Structure 1
């Protein structure tokens, strides 16, 4: 028993000597250096295995904490749209037309290194936003910004700013709108789920909200029938285009809302399926595009080309 304790002590001393790089003394045949070296080797092997296990555990934990870029949108970008001429026109044959579509295809899509898949048909904006929230759609070509939408959408740089107007019958006495009180008491047509500025959220303004297809056309029809008094038109160009298509420009007028800032329009991306890297690529492509031609100029050229007899 005593010899075992003494032997263990000598072995421990020898091991510590090797670890410190000291020469191992010759203790005779009972304590050969090869046995001590083998013991040390086993200790180091076990220590190495433990270190590797700890490192693997740390890396696994970090992978759970760090954000992961969605994989789906790295290959395909599914883009939805709603019918809003001249920016987007729902066309037969499964492919949309319009200035915003052409601008994206020409200047943005080639820089994203992705396959762009346009929806076969237009979808009402409220339904599109729900698809983006759920991750069943990756992007939407034309949308304004709100705080609530920013919770589930990436907003890159805007590509268009539009003055806000009120559409009235030509017989209406209002010629300019400098204060919100001028709108009090009016029945104003607008869109379900549409962006409504804080200054217009007043119970003294009576909103008539609609959803579905042909939103602006239906509101113009209701105005002409005097079922509403006015149309809130944050998208002036789109409403102007529809009024021209309906050939009712002599019956209605567009009055700027002077106390409101222009509406900024964006291509938006679902946070559920699209990573920040795609948004950054979009911003770089947009910056390069506007150096060549701003979107407003592109729209004018597009309309001149498509309206040519």
Structure 2
């Protein structure tokens, strides 16, 4: 039985790794010095605004990183997740994976307003979000990486792709990996990028099934059950995905997986699933070696940030307001 399931899984990995798809992580026309002449203070402005945001509430770091993830998994990293619904456009904010989990849009709004005063019409919302995610990680103790820039903002969004492409909290390992592979991200990228859950919170609705069915005798279990009752209600109550150091970007998230204490099923599957052939070794590696985790996370974040929307490079724009397309 297990051997049969493993064969199916490995077949899926090989198939998905060799099929060309529309939004693979590749080498887009992005450069590190894109704004060196047109808006030389862009990095300083984003950093200062993110410092204020994280100082006011450390959770803001995780909120911005999550926005970046959810943006890049739909149409590439093009700022589409930031668009509000209008009479003519159905945005991504109300899609199932986003509607109750994505907040922090006002942080990007503040940065955009500042940049529009300093360098009007120059810096795209997509680039702002990518830089802000990097700075968010640094501000809570995580690694630095250089951010290639030059993205344009899309004039479209996709409610449908947001529902289809974004991994969900209760998804199994095969589903999670297939969604990452579809974006051109490897199994190694999948495990490393999941490490972003070392910061941030999850809603009761997304971990209720796990704590009442799978967590067994975890010493952390009683506290979770008081936060997230089995009966209906409390769906919006939250708990840290890394209760050891919830506001610090480190590798303790992986140590929790070794103890079967991953809060989300999708995370724990990377270690506990019968299909976790390659992912289990990576979880152990990052739990034991924070330097290796930081290095791979940095590399994988650059790779994810380079997922392109080819249409936006041709027909995109620099939005004046990140929530609405320029008219």
- TM-score scaled by structure 2? 0.25
Which structure's CA Rg is the greater one?
1
Question: Which structure shows the bigger proportion of residues in strand conformation?
Answer: 1
Higher helix share: 2
Which structure has more relative contact order (CA 8 Å, sep 6+)? It is 2
TM (norm. structure 1) is 0.26
